Amino acid sequence: MKDKKITIVGLGYIGLPTAAVMARAGMEVLGYDLNRRVIDALNRGEIIIEEPGLSELVNEMVSSGRLKGISTLQESDVFIIAVPTPITEDKKADMSYVKSAAEDILPHLKPGNIVVLESTSPPGATEDIIVPILERSGLKIGDEVFVAHSPERVLPGRIIQELVENDRIIGGINPESTEIVKEVYRTFVDGEIYTTDSKTAEMCKLMENTFRDVNIALANELAILSENMGIDAWEVIKFANKHPRVNLHQPGPGVGGHCIAVDPWFVIENHPEGKLIRQARNINDGMPDKVMEKIQELVQSDEAKVAILGATYKPNVDDTRESPVLKLVEKLLQKTRLQVAIHDPHVDREVFPYSGRLYDQIEDAVKDADLIVLGVNHFEYSTLDFGLLGNLMKAKRLYDTRNYLNEKELVENGFQVTILGRGI
């Protein structure tokens, strides 16, 4: 396998690290992307995304001659597709990037080729979208060209290690495809490689994120019930999780990011019978509304100032895709007359949709505020001086949607503290 020429189609957070790791394993790797900036940077040995260790590895592999960027596809032994699969307005997978990647491969296809879809896709996509396009080559797909889905489950920030160490699933359109694609991944994966059919592999990836979404929805429902019943959901979670087979998740202001908030929709896009999954999505998507209602209840004035700390979809990252805090901001601006100030040390002002409301200094964001809302538990917020911040505010009120801050210290500094999910 190591003498095979590999082409990665789509050099983003998944494709580029995969290309670099395969080159490190000794293969000749070509990276193809529609974005010229990505290719130009790659051929200078540089990258345009942030991921620990990637810049050094790419530089080393480009210098070694084993990794090269190309802006026109050419013949190859293996094609790995890692293009985006975003969600449409009507909650369906946008497969247009995958289709166009397969169509671009088509003129270069030859007998013996291997095509792998890594993009997260609805069940059936490899057989129903990739195979019919490749069949237009006249080659017998499954006999002369081998096709499989191999989903990715790396954690941003640890992609290079996890690409090698994580267990992996390979699902071919037939057993021959599965076995040959397994050999490709064996060249650089140290984890176990489990084999199945392509539709099962697609469903596995989606269910991993759906599992998390449904469990977060259960925690959010517990939070809503607890508030109504006069119970502290956080105490329930702490003690229920002492059961050896229980792992209640944590509630919060909603679910964001490009995986957990998106992938469950791919499962049910053509399947209304997926009721629990849909309900979980709706519960999680309803959380920004719940937070808005609580804010309105707490501030006691239509024109109060609310300072929101944190805008990303999870702590300690700069990614705001599908962030529930941004949905909250949008709702506050559309449905209320409240003044909204935002602070987040991680977001990039250039691409932030509410940059006019974004303050670089937290003191400026909370000045004259009637309420602080902790939206994201960024590490930086664990060491804030609430004595100082409280003195800048009009009213010392704080709503912690993550149960993250030191309540005792806040109370000692005169704050009235409300915690999402605590009904007492």
Ligand X SMILES: NC(=O)c1ccc[n+]([C@@H]2O[C@H](COP(=O)([O-])OP(=O)(O)OC[C@H]3O[C@@H](n4cnc5c(N)ncnc54)[C@H](O)[C@@H]3O)[C@@H](O)[C@H]2O)c1
Which residues partner with 123 through β-bridges?
Answer: none
Give the C-alpha separation, 13 to 1, whole Å: 25
Give the C-alpha separation, 129 to 87, whole Å: 17
Among 20, 32, 197, 291, binds ligand X (CB under 6 A): 32
Q: Does 84 bind ligand X (CB under 6 A)?
A: yes
| Residue nearest ligand X (C-beta atom) | 12
Q: Which of 2, 99, 199, 259 is catalytic?
A: 259
Q: How far is the CB of 121 from ligand X (least distance, A)?
A: 7
Footprint of ligand X on 151-170 (CB under 6 A): 152, 154, 156
Which residues partner with 330 through β-bridges?
Answer: none
- Catalytic-residue membership of 259: yes
Provide the edge-to-edge strand list for the sheet that holds 67-70.
67-70, 28-32, 5-9, 78-81, 114-117, 146-149, 168-172, 193-197
Among 8, 15, 21, 42, binds ligand X (CB under 6 A): 15
Q: Which of 205, 290, 294, 305 is catalytic?
A: 205
Among 6, 8, 11, 373, binds ligand X (CB under 6 A): 11
Measured from the CB atom, the residue of 314 and 367 that comes closer to ligand X is: 314
Choose among 127, 135, 134: nearest CA to 171: 127
Give the C-alpha separation, 336 to 139, whole Å: 60
For tokens 């006999």, what's the residue? Answer: 143
Among 38, 173, 201, 260, binds ligand X (CB under 6 A): 38
Measured from the CB atom, the residue of 163 and 328 that comes closer to ligand X is: 163
Tokens of 126: 């490899």
Going by the DSSP 8-state scheme, the letter that residue 139 receives in this structure is S
* N-terminal to C-terminal alpha carbon distance within the chain: 62
Footprint of ligand X on 232-271 (CB under 6 A): 259
* CA atoms lying within 13 Å on the CB side of residue 313: 15
Among 34, 106, 139, 358, binds ligand X (CB under 6 A): 34
- Residue 350 CB neighbour total at 10 angstroms: 6
Measured from the CB atom, the residue of 237 and 267 that comes closer to ligand X is: 267
Q: Does 323 bind ligand X (CB under 6 A)?
A: no
- Catalytic-residue membership of 68: no
Which residues are at the interface with ligand X (CB under 6 A)?
Answer: 9-15, 32-35, 38, 82-85, 97, 100-101, 104, 118-120, 152, 154, 156, 259
Residues noted as catalytic:
205, 259
